[in-house]
Chains A and B, each alone.
Chain A
Amino acid sequence: MNLVGQLAAAGPVATDGAWGTELQARGLAAGECPDAWNLAAPERVGEVARAYVEAGSRVILTNTFRANRLALAGHGLAEKAPEINRAGAAISRRAAEGRARVFASIGPTGKLLLMGETTEEELRAVFSEQARALGEGGADAILVETMSDLAEAKIALTAAKETGLPVVVSMVFDSGKNKDRTLFGATPEQVAQELTAAGADAVGANCGTGIAAYVPICRRLRAATPLPVWIKPNAGLPELVEGRTVYRTTPEEFARHVPALVEAGARFLGGCCGTNPAFVRAVVLALTRA
């Protein structure tokens, strides 16, 4: 059994919370490329990673969500992709200090395959480059996350598997009347079945419209695959109050849904946008009680 299977078997495992907002709290300007901080301000990225380890995360991610060549090109940083990814994995690895495992983050490219904005070949090359660098930086596993297009997710999965590391794939369910589809219309059943067949080591759901909505999604993923399920919801939908972005869900409200998620089959549990170390502490507490 590989690492993901071992952790899941001994779980449920608390993962981490959001990185972007934590970096902004440490001075990252809106519109600035967060991933570039792996080179420009590694100590502050390390602070975020450590804050999660100290809050009780047993799996932490890396500040590499947008560090694929196509997304970095928007900031003129395409050529820095290998370096940014290696540094990102190394920063989280140092912060983990053997107390947590590092699941390196790979996000979408932002280019649409079906409209011909990119090709399968280009995506394969881009994700292979990123995954390889994350492996070199010391990642324990790779997390392909926040995906909307199953086709892109599967290409990233195959590329990440080439490193020999276990790979988790997590998609966003926020579309359709019941908010139970991906943007491209896939159901949890389709996602679980196709990713399982494509060789994922765990499948999951992240971001989305809030934690309550992910309980039934989790149950449906679980029913459609023998693999462990990974869940990392938003702290509800953001609202704008006097010009500032506010997430209304509190850590306590968030954690109240933890027992239901565990019951629904979640083996990895953390938070996405709007969550922070306080949410992780609340999740850890709820897990020890669950």
Chain B
Amino acid sequence: MVDLTRLYDAVLKGDNKGAAAVTREALAEGVEALELLSKYVVPAMDEVGRLYDCEDYFVPELLLAIRAMKAAVELIKPGEPVGRVVIGTVRGDLHDIGKNLIAGMLQGGGFEVIDLGTDVPPDRFVAAVQEKNADIVALSALLTVTMPSMKTTVEALRSAGIRDRVKVLIGGAPVTQEYADQIGADGYGSNAASAVPLARKVLGK
């Protein structure tokens, strides 16, 4: 029997090859996908979030952990996700590190994540939400000059008549809770560790 705590350790240490190897062995031995995810991958990412929060981890460790988590999740192909998230950096903004961190954390937290990339115009968010029947749309902006695109995106969801069907979460260096309130977003996260708890909270899960 493969020692499954090695999966937890591999994700925590950012060892993507190790994470994939243990996952492959475990699946071959008939371990349930859900067990791998809920008992090892998700708790490891929770711990990564905690270490980031208390500054034992910084962005490099976070990026490596997310890569290891993805290496495992891609093999697992879990069943029903916690929720479906459409994520992207808003129009005019090409920054993707923050957005990738959040996408990775959400994926590690059991969400299905549809990543639209950077410089995403409002109508592409609207189309993706409709097409994928998303529960959450997560908007990122690193620049004060591109923050207004968050507002335009929320307005586009409203005029498409789907604002009430989806929760809007926003984040990024210049973004604040006040701004979230101002544009009528459902939530604001100040760091990567807050992403999963916040997404669960707005869905009531």
Q: Which residues of A contact B (CB under 8 A)?
A: 30-31, 74, 112, 114-115, 175-177, 181, 183-185, 237-240, 243, 245
Contacts and interface: CB of A to CB of B under 8 A. Distances in A.
Given A115-B67, A176-B55, A185 B145 contact: no
A177 B55 contact: yes
Contacts of A114: 60, 63-64
B10 interface: no
B59 interface: yes
B148 A243 contact: yes
A181 B54 CA distance: 13
A74 B94 contact: yes
B4 to A, nearest CB: 27
B147 A185 contact: no
A74 B118 CA distance: 13
B179 A240 contact: yes
B47 to A, nearest CB: 17
Interface in B50-109: 55, 57-61, 63-64, 67, 92, 94, 97
A239 to B, nearest CB: 7
A240 B147 contact: yes
Contacts of A240: 144, 147-148, 174, 179
A245 B58 contact: no
Interface of B: 55, 57-61, 63-64, 67, 92, 94, 97, 144-145, 147-148, 174, 179
Given A238-B174, A243-B148, A185 B92 contact: no
B179 to A, nearest CB: 7
**Quick one: which of A175, A185, A238, A239 has the most chain B CB within 10 A?**
A185
Contacts of B61: 185
Contact of A183 (B59, B144, B147, B148): B59
A185 B58 contact: yes
Contacts of B58: 175-176, 181, 183-185
A104 to B, nearest CB: 24
Nearest to B96: A110
Contacts of A238: 144, 174
A237 B60 contact: no
A245 B144 contact: yes
Contacts of A31: 92
